[in-house]
Every structure is written in structure tokens, then in C-alpha cells.
Structure 1
Amino acid sequence: MKKLGILAVALLTQATFAQTNRFVYQVTSKPDINNKSDIKTENAYLDISAEKSMFYSENRIKRDSVMKANFQSGGARGFNREQMEGLRTNMNYSIEKNKKDQKTIYKERIGRDLYSYEEDRPLNWKILSETTKIGDYKVQKAETDFGGRKWTAWFTTDLPYQDGPYKFSGLPGLVVKAEDSSGDYSFDLMKNYKIADFPEMNTFGNMMKVKRTDYVKQQEKYKSDPTAFMNSQRGSRGVTMGGPRGGNQNPADMRKRMEERAKEEAKRNSNPIELK
């Protein structure tokens, strides 16, 4: 009986350890450089297991779920545009940190395909002696320069994770708050709870693994001429603008709408989280 009791405790401990912990952050941003009064706020999840962590927008996973259900039930004619607009996000990326090899993988859509790169810039933290309390956690101050911004982070050793929102990691605790010196971006831990497992992330289009510098080049190509960029993506599949997927739509009208959307998107994101 004693052996059975020990086995039960061991199995319970293993099951608990295998669970994924979800940390919910409020992300505040000023993505339009010409309109700093337009402040965007949304929630993001940092899901952490023993092997890896993932950071992504709450609206992104909800939007993916709606799109997947729509495709399964008959395609684009069933889209509820108001619902999709309500799930718009300024965080169209996801970030995975692998605990074993210490790699950080960034994924974001450009045009029709999903691009993925391994972060090649280390986070060099300066840990300061200043401490305070945020919510229930005793936190300590740290600073770093990353992506053209100076960041201040507050981390806690009350939680057994050396992780944080966005690409932030490498501190001796979990990042509870991070903010850049301009006040354009901030991440604030709101709550945490356990979930059964990581959600399935839908990957519409091709997955393109590239170097970070190549990703930046592809992003610039899309911004300068979105129609040509997306036609090159379609061309690689043997489909051109106005072909089977374009239906009876006028190619010139489609190009104009696409360019307008790209310009609007560029304006909305003229103050990106990484400046270089």
C-alpha cells in the first residue's frame, strides 16, 4: 500500500508538472507614429511548459478559430465581417522559446504566407538593485537595449520561470512588467492560470523559414509593392491575380484595394515595436 501511495503522489506530481501555465498580459501600444493619442490595448498569452513557451495575441487565436470554423463550413461567404473586425490585433506574430536549445523563433504573416526566423540578437540585461512590489509579486528592476529601444523590465523570482512576454527572457525570474523608454509599448501581467495544453495555431499558406535579415527584406518588399509581392507568392503555386482564386473580380480593382489596405496597414504600424 505504501508503494502504491508513493506511485500515486509521483504520478500526480508528474501530471501537475506536465500542465501548461498561461500568463495573461495587457499589451499597450502606440503603433501610429503620427498619432500617439491613438493607444491600442489588448491581451496576449504567454503559455509556458517544461519544454517551451509561446507568446501570442488573444485575438489572434480567437480569429484563427473563427476562420477555421468558417472554412470547414463552406468558405468565405459565411464570414461575419463585424466579428472579424472586433478581433483585429496589432500583434500578428507569435513567438516560441525553446527551453532545451535556448532558441527564440518569431513567426508572422507577410502577404499570403507565414514567415519564420530564429532571433539572432542576444538580450544583454543589466540587473539593478532597485526592488518594489507589483500586485502580489516582489519584483526587481532590469534594463536592456533591444530592437532600437531601451527597455525597463521588472521580474520576480516568486515564480519559477526565466521567461517573459514578447522576446524577453534570460532574467532570473518571470518578467511581470516591461516598458520602453518612450512609453510606446508596455506589457503588464494581469493574471495566470493552468491550461491543458498549447492551442493549435493555424498556419494558412506556406511556412517560409528564413534568416531574420531576409525576413526584414521581404517585409520591405511587401510594403513597397504588396500586389507584386502577393502575385509572386501566387505565381509560385501556378496561380496569378484574377485567376481561379480571384473569381470574376477585376484585377485592376483588386490591385487598388490591396494597395489601399497595405497603405492603411503601414500607417497603423508606422511605429513598430522594433525600430531596427
Structure 2
Amino acid sequence: MKKLGVIAFMLLMQSIAAQTNRFVYQVTMKPDASNKNDIKTENAYLDISKDKSMFYSENRLKRDSIFQQAFQGGGGRGMISRDQMESLRSNINYSIEKDKTSQKTYFKDRIGRDIYTYEEDRPMNWKIFPETTKIGEYKVQKAETDFGGRHWTAWFTADLPYQDGPYKFTGLPGLIVKAEDDKGDYSFDLMKNYKLAELPSLNQFGNTIKVKRADYIKQQERFAADPMSFMNSGGGQMRMMTRGGEGGPPTPPADARKRMEERIKDEAKRNSNPIELK
């Protein structure tokens, strides 16, 4: 009976280890360099499994579901209304995957029709301070680093034994509960956590193109200057004809194209204060 009890305990621990822990962060951003009063707030997920973790916007899963239904549907079911898209707009259009075995971090972002991905090539060097405080239910300790042209202060807790955190942050002896840059432009605050059966699968519409980080930055700059050249190249799945609103008439392709170009350029202006400055 004692042996059976040990086996049952080991199976239980394996089951727990196989689970995915989801940490929900509130992300506060000031993406417009010309208007620091324009503050954006949304939730993002850090899903941690045994082998890897993923960080992405909460709205990403909702958008994926709508896109999947639209692409699989025919006729009117294939249309995506402007109202739907507006309700799921996000300033976190990237996703980040950290491989625990290789200790590598991978960044993914859509540019036009395709997904560009690169391996992070800069180390994250932390300075840990003896200062401690309490955030919510967790005792946390202070750490600082310079990364992406910003100086970051983070508070991590050994109560959650994951050397992980939101965005690309990793390498501290505990989960990062809060991180904020010294200009107050970006902050990540842990709100809650719960368990999942497994890591979700994120849809990847379009081709996935592996590049160096420097090449990704160049492609971003090209896209901002001429977005439609990226939308026109290759065979895309997204229809240019969308509904003008709930039950509204379809928008002609030429008008939709012009509206898309104006929207992309406007978004570029409103995202002139990126999380990474260099």
C-alpha cells in the first residue's frame, strides 16, 4: 500500500508538471511619442509550460478565432466586419517564445501578409538589489537592467519559481511580478494566474520568415514607408472586401485598399514610441 501511495504521488506530480501556468499581466503603454497623455492598457498572457513559455496579447486569441471562422467560411460568413476588428485592436501585435532547454528567446511579428521571426541576440544582464517590498500577495525583490534603449526596474518573487517574466524579460531567480521603464512609458503588472491543460496553439496566417533582428528592423521601416507593397506581394488569404459595419453593405476593394493604407500609416504615427528604442 505504501508503494502504491508513492506511485500515486509521483503521477500527481507529473500531472502538475505537465500543466501550463497562465500569468495575466496588465500592460500599460504610451505608444505615441507626440502625445504621452494617450495611455493604452490591455491584458497579455504569459503561458509557462515545462519546456517553454509564450507571451502574447489576450486579444490575439480572440482575433485568431474570428480569422479562423472567416477563412473557413464561405459567402457572407467569410466577411469580417470593421466593428469586430476595432473591438480587438491591440498594441501588442507580437508574440514571444522562450525555449527553456536552449535558453533562447524568439520574437514574432506580422509585417504585411507574413510573420517575421528572429532570435534575440542581446543578453539581459540584471543587477539585483537587496531591497524588498510586497506587491499583492508576493514578497518581491528589486532588479534593474538596460535593454532595448530603456532602463528597466523589475520586481521578482521567489514564491513563483520561474526564471521568466513578461515580454523578453528572463533570467531572474523568480517570476517578474512588475516591470517598468524609467520614463514611465511601459509597465507590466501581474494581475492573476491560473492553470491550463496545455499551451494554446496560435494561428500563423501567411508565411513565416526567419531573419536577423537587424533585418526585421529594416523591414519594419520599409513597411512604414510603403505598406501596400507588403500587402500586394504574394498570395494572401485576407479579402480586401469587408463589411462596412454590422449588416452593412460590402466596401468596394479599391475603397478598402485606400482605407487600409491610411489606417496602417496612421497606426505607424501613433506607434512612434516603441518598447525598444534601439
Runs (4 or more) in structure 1 with deviation over 6 Å come to none
User: Could you say what secondary structure the match of 1:15 adopts?
Assistant: helix
2:121 aligns to what?
120
User: Could you say what secondary structure the match of 2:162 adopts?
Assistant: coil
What is the Cα deviation at residue 229 of structure 1? 2.9
1:261 aligns to what?
263
Map 1:211-222 to 2 at 5 A: 211-222=212-223
Please tell me whether residue 35 in structure 1 is matched to residue 39 in structure 2. no
Aligned AA (2:206): G
Aligned AA (1:3): K
Deviations 1:239-264 (A, max 9, x none): 8xxxx96689565x565334312211
2:109 aligns to what?
108
What is the Cα deviation at residue 87 of structure 1? 1.1
User: Could you say what secondary structure the match of 2:12 adopts?
Assistant: helix
> Greater CA deviation, 41-50 or 255-264?
255-264
Residues 24 and 246 (structure 1), Cα distance of their counterparts in 2 relative to 1, 3 Å cut = closer
In structure 2, C-alpha distance between the alignment counterparts of 1:250 and 1:115, rounded to whole Å: 26
Please tell me whether residue 274 in structure 1 is matched to residue 262 in structure 2. no
Instruction: Tell me, yes or no, if the aligned pair for 1:162 and 1:173 is still in contact at 8 Å.
Output: yes
Aligned AA (1:230): M
2:194 aligns to what?
193
Map 1:9-158 to 2 at 5 A: 9-74=9-74, 77-158=78-159
User: Could you say what secondary structure the match of 2:206 adopts?
Assistant: coil
| Cα root mean square deviation, aligned | 2.0
1:226 aligns to what?
227
Q: TM-score scaled to structure 1, two decimals?
A: 0.91
In structure 1, C-alpha distance between the alignment counterparts of 2:269 and 2:103, rounded to whole Å: 34
Residues 4 and 167 (structure 1), Cα distance of their counterparts in 2 relative to 1, 3 Å cut = same
In structure 2, C-alpha distance between the alignment counterparts of 1:222 and 1:56, rounded to whole Å: 22
Instruction: Tell me, yes or no, if the aligned pair for 2:227 and 2:261 is still in contact at 8 Å.
Output: yes
In structure 2, C-alpha distance between the alignment counterparts of 1:188 and 1:209, rounded to whole Å: 31
Aligned AA (2:222): K
Deviations 1:122-164 (A, max 9, x none): 1111111111110111111111111111111001111110100
In structure 1, C-alpha distance between the alignment counterparts of 2:199 and 2:33, rounded to whole Å: 34
Residues 78 and 259 (structure 1), Cα distance of their counterparts in 2 relative to 1, 3 Å cut = closer
Gaps of 5+ in 1: none
In structure 1, C-alpha distance between the alignment counterparts of 2:85 and 2:230, rounded to whole Å: 24
Residues 140 and 206 (structure 1), Cα distance of their counterparts in 2 relative to 1, 3 Å cut = same
What is the Cα deviation at residue 63 of structure 1? 1.0
In structure 2, C-alpha distance between the alignment counterparts of 1:272 and 1:245, rounded to whole Å: 29
1:3 aligns to what?
3
Residues 9 and 168 (structure 1), Cα distance of their counterparts in 2 relative to 1, 3 Å cut = same
Gaps of 5+ in 2: 242-250
Instruction: Tell me, yes or no, if the aligned pair for 2:113 and 2:230 is still in contact at 8 Å.
Output: no
Identity %: 71
In structure 2, C-alpha distance between the alignment counterparts of 1:100 and 1:42, rounded to whole Å: 30
Q: TM-score scaled to structure 2, two decimals?
A: 0.90
